[in-house]
């Protein structure tokens, strides 16, 4: 499968979703991909689809059926945070996959950009602290 298919799946799946700032959610997925500054089509596919399984846009089986590589599917699986798994365990597990680690770093960086938010409350600061801890941990795994 190719990057155009990954972008199409993601943009179609998130067509009616907005982020915390009220902007189209697909823009977050594209920023994560562009922030990697990579020509690697598989890495870019993982980046643009990083939230698709977690947000029920598609399943791992769907990704197989679409024809994505095992490498892409494995990385997306690592990036899928299941609610029954504590956040730090999820971060530690995905740190072992090169693509998942790179994409999560770009995702955390984008999610930590407070200039995108309309205002900041305690919940936002708590989330930023959690993201900073995860980002610092993943940076040491490069």
pLDDT of the chain, 142 residues: tens digit per residue: 699 999 999 999 999 999 878 899 999 999 999 999 999 999 999 999 999 999 999 999 999 999 999 999 999 999 999 999 999 999 999 999 999 999 999 999 998 866 666 666 777 667 778 778 788 878 887 6
* pLDDT score at 18: 92
Q: How far is CA 92 from CA 1, 53, 67, 134, 138, in A?
A: 29, 19, 28, 9, 8
Fold of the domain spanning 3-139? Hypothetical protein af1432 (1.10.3210)
SS3 18: strand
Domain ranges for the chain, please list them.
3-139
Predicted pLDDT at 137:
79
Q: Are 1 and 15 in contact (CB under 8 A)?
A: no
Residue 129, classified by CB atoms within 10 Å of its CB into exposed (0-12), middle (13-18) or buried (19+), is exposed
């Amino acid at each position: 499968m190719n990057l155009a298919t990954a972008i199409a799946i993601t943009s179609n799946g998130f067509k009616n979703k907005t982020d915390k700032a009220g902007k189209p959610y697909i823009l977050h997925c594209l920023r994560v991909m562009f922030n990697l500054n990579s020509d690697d089509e598989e890495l870019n596919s993982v980046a643009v689809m990083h939230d698709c399984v977690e947000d029920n846009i598609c399943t791992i089986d769907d990704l197989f059926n679409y024809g994505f590589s095992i490498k892409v599917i494995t990385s997306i699986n690592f990036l899928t945070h299941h609610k029954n798994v504590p956040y730090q365990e999820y971060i530690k597990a995905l740190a072992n996959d090169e693509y998942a680690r790179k994409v999560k770093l770009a995702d955390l960086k984008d999610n930590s950009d407070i200039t995108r938010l309309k205002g900041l409350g305690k919940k936002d600061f708590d989330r930023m602290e959690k993201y900073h801890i995860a980002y610092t941990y993943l940076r040491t795994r490069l």
